[in-house]
Amino acid sequence: MSTLAPGARISVLFDAESIASRVRALAGEIVAEMGHSPLVIPVLKGSFIFAADLLRALHEAGAEPDMDFIGLSSYGRGTLSLGEVKIVRDTEAEIAGRDVLIVDDILESGRTLAFAKDLMAARRAKSVKTCVLLDKPGKLAVQMKADFTGFQCADKFVVGYGMDMAHAYRQLPFVGVVES
């Protein structure tokens, strides 16, 4: 447990080393299933550090991925999902005919990934697969299962490694839980 801001105690759920070795394994799984030229589309903002590490791990695994970005939002400033997914930044790349890998930080209700998957299918991607760092089981509001999952995660609000609570804590090199 480390104290990082006055009054905020963060306990570590997944440390940097465990994340790094899981990301390497995920890259291997992805290349084995998707081949060497996926179009990787991270869902901003929460997945940006995961996606950056995953991209380099894909390189180590022999892939030559393309990359674009999409910004989706279903949360307000706090920790309560509003339920409706909005595009806050759209992709620029040609999606039609591509093997798309959507990368997100957390699968919770499934709405964000389902929205992104439907969008890429509507844009005539050749195939669409999904990769999440964390899966919070038991919280699905729509039917959705990620094709590649980093870790199963307890039903707690987590921060760090790109993920925020009201825009704070993205910089932490580990995934943790704000205790107070």
- Does 163 bind ligand IMP (CB under 6 A)? Our answer is yes
**Residues, the chain:** 180
Among residues 45, 97, 41, which one has the least CA distance to residue 71? 45
75: which strand partners? Answer: 81
Stretch 88-127: interaction string toward ligand IMP, x if CB under 6 A: ----------------xxxxxxxxx---------------
- Does 135 bind ligand IMP (CB under 6 A)? Our answer is no
81 binds, among ligand IMP, Mg ion, none (CB under 5 to 8 A by kind): ligand IMP
- Does 176 bind Mg ion (CB under 5 A)? Our answer is no
CB of 60 to ligand IMP, least distance (A): 25
Structure tokens at 32: 């084995």
What would you report as the CA-atom Rg of the chain, rounded to the nearest whole angstrom? 16
Q: How far is Cα 28 from Cα 12, in angstroms, rounded to an integer?
A: 26
CB-based contacts of 88, cutoff 8 Å, min separation 6: 44, 71, 72, 73
Tell me the window of 3-11, 24-32, 73-81, 119-127 that interacts with ligand IMP (CB under 6 A).
73-81
Residue among 31 and 106 whose Cβ is closer to Mg ion: 106
Residue type, position 70, single letter:
I
Residues that bind Mg ion (CB under 5 A): 46
Residues contributing to the site for ligand IMP (CB under 6 A):
43, 46, 74-75, 81, 104-112, 157-158, 163
